[in-house]
Chains A and B, each alone.
Chain A
């Protein structure tokens, strides 16, 4: 995975209404939210929105420029490019969201345990995280794809696993810090059970950090899926994703560069949207940064 930024967030952030107001005052973050939602709608309602099925070929209309029948033209097999982009949004959003959720589902419990309990389990988890980190993410992904076969599902698995070590560290750091908070210490002194403390005090207060982190991990996963499909390790044709489209566009770079431009721009806009949203959320949830 690429550039992971750590978010420092005060767990005692303000209430929801205040947050929403502050968020709405940031036009860029709002724009990000709107665009991200738009992509989500594209992804969910792809079948209804796209004028052609992603498998609809037309061998008599290959590599057409924009026309009345095809908004963005056609690709080398006669697929409608606009429809491809819409269906590509579905694969990319799936990859982005599902892999992030998977990573969180694995990393948060592990990080919590390591940071809260410490003791002997912390160093063990640290060693195993180290082993995982010692393998460059892409190598891991290539290896997984080679062993399990290349598909969207396995790409999601690889992306999720790749994000796990970084998220473990964040979750662990948060748990470690929250453990020392007064109200947690008080709860421990009062004899509250571990599970109560974890679920009532620590986890909810990690939420803001995790939400920001998730929002920032999604675009990384979208780009990651594009990378994997670009290498032929993710989504396989005839199924489509933006990465698959970029891979197919390589052969036609000199003849029809627009084939590479459209999916690339789509990736940039989608990633940008989530990044803007994540930035906005981070600013909103951390009263220390005055803008």
Chain B
């Protein structure tokens, strides 16, 4: 037991370490002198040299790395080019993107699951045909284009919904109004995948012997569908979401750009474009760490539930 945990934690630490080095070197591979980025219109060489010194950019790279990672482990990710704390900026912005992702997931589930169930139950009929085709079309639509079209129709022409910006959750109604279109944009693709997966999972299980027996025994069609719908939903939803979380974050970047939401995704793109080293490093480190740690937690938790995995050892 102990050795298993140790091995898993060790693996996670290795990945974290490699990721942090990749981030660090990747950021330094960006062309363009960051001192100039921090310099604005003024390119006086004495000022630039001073900037380099203040940000430690004139020290050897390994030393810069050690310095950075040492502080990072203590929760200090440094300050960005505006003099604001990187850690604070991330803590403020990350929940916004996570909220967007969660709302999108919610929408995707609320739309995708029922559609998938209905099209499985009414297989071959018109409603099945239309829903599967709609799902496929939804998968083929670039979400940023969908966003642009929605802004055009609902914000610019109809004035029903705001064109963007984020209102804090402390004003829940306004917050939801602003998040509605972005969540729809991001959630559509997820809904489509869920609908398709749900449908095929339902079809598979509805065709099994177990069901035939249940029907033969006289159980109502409704209870058969319900029981199976419930069970398949949970499995399908969690599977798909688990796989799509990364894609969701990627999609959030564009959605945030179009709807002018100052979230984590957009922060990342802007910081890269502005060569804000400290910010880029902090952001990507947090994102990578989050992913790795969640996976680790899940691995460990699962091993407690199923001792057989511990013995087998290797990843499935």
Mark A residues whose CB is within 8 Å of B.
Answer: 1-5, 28, 118, 122-123, 126-128, 130-131, 133-139, 142-143, 146-147, 219, 223, 226-227, 230-231, 246, 250, 253-254, 257, 260-261, 264, 267-269, 271-272, 275-276, 279, 289
How far is B244's CA from A271's CA once the two chains are assembled, in angstroms?
A: 19
- 11 contacting pairs across A/B (C-beta < 8 A): A1-B247, A126-B315, A131-B15, A142-B273, A147-B26, A147-B30, A227-B142, A230-B144, A246-B148, A267-B140, A289-B200
User: Chain B contacts of A250 at CB under 8 A?
Assistant: 148
Is B154 part of the contact surface with A, judged by Cβ < 8 Å?
Answer: no
Is B98 in contact with chain A by the CB < 8 A criterion? no
**Smallest CB separation, B51 vs chain A (Å):** 20
Q: Which of A123, A253, A269 contacts B152 (CB 8 A)?
A: A253
Q: B247-277, CB under 8 A of A: which get 1 and which 0? A: 1011101100100000001001100110000
> B84 at the A/B interface (Cβ < 8 Å)?
no
Across the interface, B145 reaches (CB within 8 A) one of A1, A2, A126, A246, namely: A246
> Are A134 and B291 in contact, CB atoms less than 8 angstroms apart?
yes
Given A126-B315, A257-B152, A276-B136, decide whether A139 and B30 contact each other with a Cβ distance below 8 A.
no
Residue B230 at the A interface, CB < 8 A? no
Max chain A CB contacts within 10 Å: which of B30, B144, B272? B144
Nearest Cβ in chain A — how far from B280, in angstroms? Answer: 8
With A134-B291, A147-B29, A276-B136 given, can you name 10 additional A-B contacts, CB distance below 8 Å?
Answer: A4-B243, A127-B11, A131-B22, A134-B287, A136-B246, A136-B250, A138-B253, A139-B268, A139-B287, A147-B31
Contact (Cβ within 8 A) B243 A272: no
Q: How far is the CB of A4 from chain B (nearest CB, A)?
A: 7
Decide: B243 and A264 in contact? CB cutoff 8 A. no
Residue contact B26 to A143, C-beta cutoff 8 Å = yes
- Asked if A2 and B251 make an inter-chain contact with CB atoms under 8 angstroms apart, the answer reads yes
Please, how many angstroms separate the alpha-carbon atoms of A254 and B190 in the complex? 29
Given contacts A28-B133, A253-B156, contact A137 B141 (CB under 8 A): no
**Residue from the list B140, B249, B292 in contact with A275, Cβ < 8 A:** B140
CB-nearest residue of chain B to A265: B145
Contact partner of B30 among A126, A146, A254, A276, CB < 8 A?
A146
Q: A146-B272, A260-B145, A264-B142 given as contacts; is B246 within 8 A of A137 (CB)?
A: yes
User: By the criterion of a CB under 8 Å from any partner CB, how many residues of chain B are at the interface?
Assistant: 55
Complex CA–CA separation, A197 to B159 (angstroms): 64
Q: Tell me the bound Cα distance from A42 to B83 in angstroms.
A: 52
In the complex, what's the smallest C-beta–C-beta distance from A138 to chain B, in angstroms? 4
A113 to chain B, nearest CB (A): 16
| Residues in B lying within 8 Å of A, measured CB to CB | 11, 14-15, 18-19, 22, 26, 29-31, 133, 136-137, 139-142, 144-145, 148-149, 151-152, 156, 189-190, 192-193, 196-197, 200, 203, 243-244, 246-247, 249-251, 253-254, 257, 265, 268-269, 272-273, 284, 287-288, 291-292, 295, 314-315
Instruction: Decide if A264 touches B315 in the complex (CB within 8 Å).
Output: no
**B15–A134 touching, CB < 8 Å:** yes
| Contact call A143/B30, Cβ cutoff below 8 A | yes
A68 to chain B, nearest CB (A): 28
Contact A275 B268 (CB under 8 A): no
- Within 8 Å CB of B22, what residues of A? 131, 135
> Given the complex of chains A and B, what is the CA–CA distance between A275 and B139 in angstroms?
8
CA distance A275 to B138 in the complex (A): 11
- Scoring A1, A2, A223, A231 by chain B CB atoms within 10 A of each residue's CB, the highest score goes to A2
Across-interface contacts of A269 in B (CB, < 8 A) = 140
Question: Are A223 and B142 in touch, CB under 8 angstroms?
Answer: yes
Residues of B with C-beta under 8 A to A127: 11, 14-15, 18
Interchain CB contact under 8 A, B254 and A134? no
Once the chains bind, are B31 and A219 in contact (CB under 8 Å)? no
- Sorted from nearest, which 9 A-B pairs have the closest CB atoms? A271-B140, A272-B140, A134-B288, A264-B145, A138-B250, A134-B291, A223-B142, A3-B193, A136-B250
Q: How far is the CA of A118 from the CA of B314 in the complex (A)?
A: 10
A130 touches B31 (CB 8 A): no
- Please, which residues of chain A bring their CB within 8 A of the CB of B133? 28
Interfacial chain A residues near B19, Cβ < 8 Å: 131, 134-135
**Interface pair A142/B287, CB less than 8 Å apart:** no
Chain A residues within an 8 Å CB radius of B268:
136, 139, 142
Selected from A5, A28, A143, A227, the residue in CB contact (under 8 A) with B144 is: A227
A3 touches B142 (CB 8 A): no
Contact between chains at A3 and B144 (CB < 8 Å): no
Alpha-carbon separation in the docked complex, A264 to B141 (Å): 8
With A3-B244, A28-B133, A147-B26 as known contacts, state yes or no: A253 contacts B148, CB within 8 Å.
yes
B272 touches A143 (CB 8 A): yes
Q: CA separation between A276 and B139, bound complex, in Å?
A: 11
Tell me, in angstroms, the Cα distance from A126 to B15 when the chains sit together.
10
